Amino acid sequence: MPEPRITDSHCHLDFPDFDDERPQVIARAHEAGVARMVTICTRLRTEPQVRAIAEANPTVFYAAGTHPMSAAEEPMATADELTQIARHPKMVGIGETGLDYHYTAETASVQQESLRIHIEAARRTGLPLIIHARAADDDMARILTEEHRAGAYSCVMHCFSSSRALAEAALGLGFYLSMSGISAFPKSGELRDIFAAAPLDRILVETDSPYLAPPPHRGKRNEPAYTAHTARVGAEVFGLDYAEFAAATEANFDRLFTKVAAWEHAA
């Protein structure tokens, strides 16, 4: 019997970690039931390479933006630029963008400017915003809320591992939370409790590969196939069998990433 279908909503297939075996990595994902992957461009100058991976693989889609840790090193993106890129049929999300004060607090103002530009692009395109948040909960909640009041947009808090307060702020705006391998770590009980308190219809799963491999692969290179390990933990968190949880996260992904379903239908 085939594995239930799930989607890795956030990975980095263009990273050199996968250069030697990208086709095999994608094939292993399919074998594990990971039927679709969204690979994320973190610097707009690499967008052509990320796009090419999506174009070459029917089950791979992509998103593009400037990662907050790179915001001060890269040319500032414009909403026009992001909107132009979003015309590609397999470009399905804006980002990742966000705030990271853990490693790059000194560039906070640049990160905030970049974040607001990406939010404007998400509004214009109707594509979901993909948020990276680390050690910046107060500013993140404030900016997301201010901008949502100025004009609605959809959003996923990728690899969510922040506070309950930020989770509640994001959920209150209608946003989604994504479970990564961190959710499956033995010491992440408090994070699992935050997810357990969230509505099931706002949950996605992801790897953020090549980073953050879940058990039993922790400490090794992560890859999209391992989404299944995190999803099994997610099923336990919500008290569901795996097939039920997989079906729920698939419905959530399709509701948020509407362009994926449109491309699949056209194909």
DSSP one-letter code for 66: -
Burial environment of residue 12 by CB neighbours within 10 A (0 to 12, 13 to 18, 19 or more)? buried
102 is in an annotated binding site: no
Task: Report the b/e string of 41-62 with b at 16+ CB within 10 A.
Answer: bbbbeebeebbebbeebebbbb
208 is in an annotated binding site: yes
217 is in an annotated binding site: no
Prior bond to 216 cis, omega within 30? yes
Region of 33 (left: φ > 0; alpha: ψ -120 to 50; beta: rest) is left
206 is in an annotated binding site: no
67 is in an annotated binding site: no
Query: Helix or strand or coil: residue 221?
Result: coil
Distances (CA, A) of 82 to 38, 92, 127: 17, 11, 11
12 is in an annotated binding site: yes
Which tokens belong to 133?
Answer: 């948040």
Annotated binding site for a divalent metal cation: 10, 12, 96, 132, 158, 208
Give the annotated binding-site residues: 10, 12, 96, 132, 158, 208
